[in-house]
Structure 1
Amino acid sequence: MATQDQLAAEKLAIAVAQAPAVIAAKATLKATWLAAAQATGGVSNEALTNLDEAVDETVFAYALSLASGDASAPKVVSFLAAPHNWYGMNVPGSRTTFDNPDTIYRKIPIDPASSYVLTGTVHAHKPVDFNFSLYSNTSATLSNLAGDQLSTNADGSFVINADSSSTGPGNHIQLVSGAASIFVRDTINEWGVQQFNSLAIKRVPSVSTQAQSADTLAATLAATLQTPAAAAQFVGYNTLGYAQPVNTLPAPSLGGTGGRLANQAATYSAFQLADDEALVVNVNLGGAKYFIAPAYGRWTITTDYINHTQTLNNAQAVPNPDGTYTFVVSPKDPGVYNWVDTVGLHQGFLNLRWQGLPATPAAVGPSATAQLVKLSDLGSVLPSTTKYVTAADRQAQLAARAASYASRYAP
């Protein structure tokens, strides 16, 4: 992950995000989010304490996107990440609109009239799922190249040609009219073991370009933040989360709009929990290779998933004997291993996701149910095989989690 392009982009994005014009423009984005949230679901005083942090991280995500170059000389830069410190930089978080700690996201700007060559390596301990999605400028998916469709050499290396031709040798992405970026997702469920793919891109033929200054990018970002499009994803997902009663889960749906992964099943919902309440969530994987149960704050981002079990995937959680999973979502520790910790938050969102679904749908597809219960009543609704933990067990679980994450940003 620590490529020269990544480090340079982070350094540039820090300067862009700190520009006075960008700081002033954040107010417009914040006001739009707040109005949308107040109109749908309401906003607690607790949620207000996290609003500035969420706006700051979204703005930094925009800054990183601008710092990744343009279609004439694109760079591979990851974002939607938690704050991290490496190579002498304190890098702000860039989490926005349902970030996933199991996934690194890389958005590469492209011009459909140009040609590009992506090169990379799938390492020995490869991601459980990865995808190359061709996006329009509104993040509509135009096509998707899944990892199991990618041809690699014996050493894991690969080449993808991206151009306007309808077919091409080997791995190929057709750049159709309206294409604006290639959005890459690498997803792991065994932190510290599985490795994200290496990736680079070059335009063919290459052109000589002059990098835009931090001042120029700041002016662009400040103008962008004051447009309705800047808040569109939050507004859309906020509406989606409150499209059904709180503490319920609609049936999972496949694909969709708003930048969702085309071959992923997902369900969205808002939660509202008291200190003595929990949601018991029962999940069937439906043959998926990967599943995650994450809790988000009111502003659709995680808070501290490194030191808390704010997200649990199918490798981190303990399954039931029949292969299903049962999770307890609550602000207070329920004493069960599969605790999705809201990190003290009482209002927020759930966004359950299934990836790596079988080509032939399983007899029983992805599903999830949620039941609101009192913490004191958990024993009457949890499976008899539920794994419970002591305080020492919990500390060991959290220590192992933090250690497995630490290698991600180790120099």
Structure 2
Amino acid sequence: MNEPVNAEQRVMDGSTWSDFCDALKAAGALVDAEKAPQDAFTRAEGYRYLSRMLRAGLESFLEAGDPRFPELRCPAHETIKLGADNPDNHYQTATIDPQYDYRITGTRGTVNYLGFGTVINRYSSGGGMKTDGWLDSRDMEINPDGTLEIIVSQRQQPGNWLPMGPETNSLNVRQTFQDRRNETRAEIRIERLGAEHERPDPLSPEKLDRALQGAVQFIRSTTGLFEGWAASFLPTLNQVAPADQAFCQAIGGDPNIYYFHSAWALAPDEALLIEAPVVPACQTWNFVLQNWWMESLDFRYHQIHFNKHTATYEDDGGVVIVVAHEQPPQANWVETAGHHSGTLCWRWIGASEHPPVHARVVKFSELGTLPGRRR
């Protein structure tokens, strides 16, 4: 019987890198998923998506994967997007371990919503994400000068306490803006209690080998999970349909959010007219247009989402949004940014009621006679 090859041997003979490259090449087959559009534009975005997932995986497993020295990093932003990311959010995450206790400190800022969650993150194995503990800044003790402190542990603590479970492996933070230009982001950091005089270990062959394998597994599992989810929206094409809320929570959804997910597809002369006749009392709401891979479209250069603060309302308090290839007469225009199909998401955030949102395809030429025209 052959002796198992250890990580040092794998690094020395190049197997670590070769296996990583081979697995990365095999992951490209995800772009050929059965129900994924096979036009060159969507495939190009698919390969870019894989490159983005690679960056996310390497940051998570290789650069910031030590729970003894956790680092809050931003896993989804302008050029790394996954799982119906919200452009109104600043996402942060850190690897943690329930055998340790942690302290989060910083300043609250003025961002509209700040939430902390401990989770069991199984994205790399295709198992989604389960929330163990949740802490909303509205329920926290914040000092008069805006500073805050949270203890993260399995054992209950006085003050602001964020519980962990025996399988917790990650901390997630969501900062949700309504007006990014005028709101100030919370500035926070995390440290392991008792680590003041310790330093991280140098990179080892074992860590490198394990991290590269983990990064590729993350690409395969995460991309496959969300591609399959996008395909499941096809029966509600061009609707704003309530999602399976239990599934949303199982893959890391915010407990304060009620989600709607669907697919969309428009011909060059068509538009999607979306009407929310009743807007409930809520912390906020938002609508986001995405590509097939469930990435928000490029919000740096295009108006691809609206929220409670940025939308123009009807006289009766309702909201009309138009998804169109060119500017319509309605005020709330969501640009398709060169896309003709994809996915979409509507969120009621912090609402006790979740009224329906209606959508229908119309000819672009008809928009001048329909609701929501500029006044």
Tell me the TM-score normalised to structure 1 length: 0.78
CA deviation string 1:178-231 (max 9, x = no partner): 111111010101021111111111111114322537995486235542475343
Tell me which structure has the larger Cα radius of gyration.
2
Q: Give the equivalent residue in structure 2 for 1:99.
A: 85
SS at structure 2 position matched to 1:372 = strand
Q: How many residues align?
A: 346
Work out the CA distance in 2 between the residues paired with 1:315 and 1:182.
28
Work out the CA distance in 1 between the residues paired with 2:22 and 2:268.
37
Q: Alignment partner for residue 258 of structure 1, among 234, 251, 262?
A: 251
Q: Can you give the 5+ residue segments of structure 2 that lack an aligned partner in the other structure?
A: 1-16, 123-128
Q: Give the equivalent residue in structure 2 for 1:208.
A: 199
Q: Give the equivalent residue in structure 1 for 2:261.
A: 268
The residue type equivalent to 1:29 in the other structure is A
Does 1:197 find its partner at 2:191? no
Q: Give the equivalent residue in structure 2 for 1:34.
A: 32
The residue type equivalent to 1:352 in the other structure is W
Does 1:372 find its partner at 2:361? yes
The residue type equivalent to 1:175 in the other structure is M
The residue type equivalent to 2:53 in the other structure is T
Does 1:174 find its partner at 2:160? no
Structure 1 residues 213 and 302: CA distance shift in structure 2, 3 A: farther
CA deviation string 1:351-377 (max 9, x = no partner): 1112232xxx25xx3431111111011
Q: Give the equivalent residue in structure 1 for 2:125.
A: none
Alignment of 1:231-310 (within 5 A): 231-242=223-234, 244-251=235-242, 254=245, 256-283=249-276, 284-310=278-304
Does 1:220 find its partner at 2:214? no
Does 1:48 find its partner at 2:43? yes
Q: CA deviation at 1:271?
A: 0.4
Q: Give the equivalent residue in structure 1 for 2:175.
A: 186
- Is the 1:285–1:367 Cα contact (8 Å) retained in structure 2? no
Q: CA deviation at 1:159?
A: 0.6
Structure 1 residues 217 and 276: CA distance shift in structure 2, 3 A: farther
Tell me which stretches of 4 or more aligned residues in structure 1 moved more than 4 Å.
19-24, 213-219, 252-255
Work out the CA distance in 1 between the residues paired with 2:85 and 2:113.
16
Q: Give the equivalent residue in structure 2 for 1:109.
A: 95
Q: Give the equivalent residue in structure 2 for 1:387.
A: 374
- Is the 1:276–1:332 Cα contact (8 Å) retained in structure 2? no
Work out the CA distance in 1 between the residues paired with 2:204 and 2:296.
31
Q: Give the equivalent residue in structure 2 for 1:397.
A: none
Q: Give the equivalent residue in structure 1 for 2:154.
A: 164
Work out the CA distance in 2 between the residues paired with 1:22 and 1:331.
41
Does 1:348 find its partner at 2:335? no
SS at structure 2 position matched to 1:65 = helix
- Is the 2:132–2:163 Cα contact (8 Å) retained in structure 1? no
Structure 1 residues 47 and 113: CA distance shift in structure 2, 3 A: same
Q: Give the equivalent residue in structure 2 for 1:130.
A: 114
Q: CA deviation at 1:303?
A: 3.4
Q: Alignment partner for residue 221 of structure 2, among 229, 233, 240?
A: 229
Work out the CA distance in 1 between the residues paired with 2:252 and 2:32.
22
SS at structure 1 position matched to 2:71 = coil
The residue type equivalent to 2:44 in the other structure is T
SS at structure 2 position matched to 1:52 = helix
Work out the CA distance in 1 between the residues paired with 2:250 and 2:165.
18
Structure 1 residues 218 and 340: CA distance shift in structure 2, 3 A: farther
Structure 1 residues 185 and 240: CA distance shift in structure 2, 3 A: farther
The residue type equivalent to 1:147 in the other structure is S
- Is the 1:267–1:352 Cα contact (8 Å) retained in structure 2? yes
The residue type equivalent to 1:79 in the other structure is P
- Is the 1:63–1:221 Cα contact (8 Å) retained in structure 2? yes
Tell me the TM-score normalised to structure 2 length: 0.85
Q: Give the equivalent residue in structure 1 for 2:330.
A: 336
- Is the 2:98–2:154 Cα contact (8 Å) retained in structure 1? yes
- Larger mean CA deviation between 365-374 and 107-116 belongs to 365-374
- Is the 1:33–1:234 Cα contact (8 Å) retained in structure 2? no
- Is the 2:50–2:223 Cα contact (8 Å) retained in structure 1? no
Q: Can you give the 5+ residue segments of structure 1 that lack an aligned partner in the other structure?
A: 1-18, 83-92, 389-411
Structure 1 residues 179 and 382: CA distance shift in structure 2, 3 A: same
Work out the CA distance in 2 between the residues paired with 1:302 and 1:387.
26
Work out the CA distance in 2 between the residues paired with 1:216 and 1:249.
44
- Is the 1:80–1:94 Cα contact (8 Å) retained in structure 2? yes
The residue type equivalent to 1:225 in the other structure is V
Work out the CA distance in 1 between the residues paired with 2:117 and 2:232.
22
- Is the 1:160–1:173 Cα contact (8 Å) retained in structure 2? yes
Work out the CA distance in 2 between the residues paired with 1:334 and 1:214.
58
Q: Give the equivalent residue in structure 1 for 2:72.
A: 76
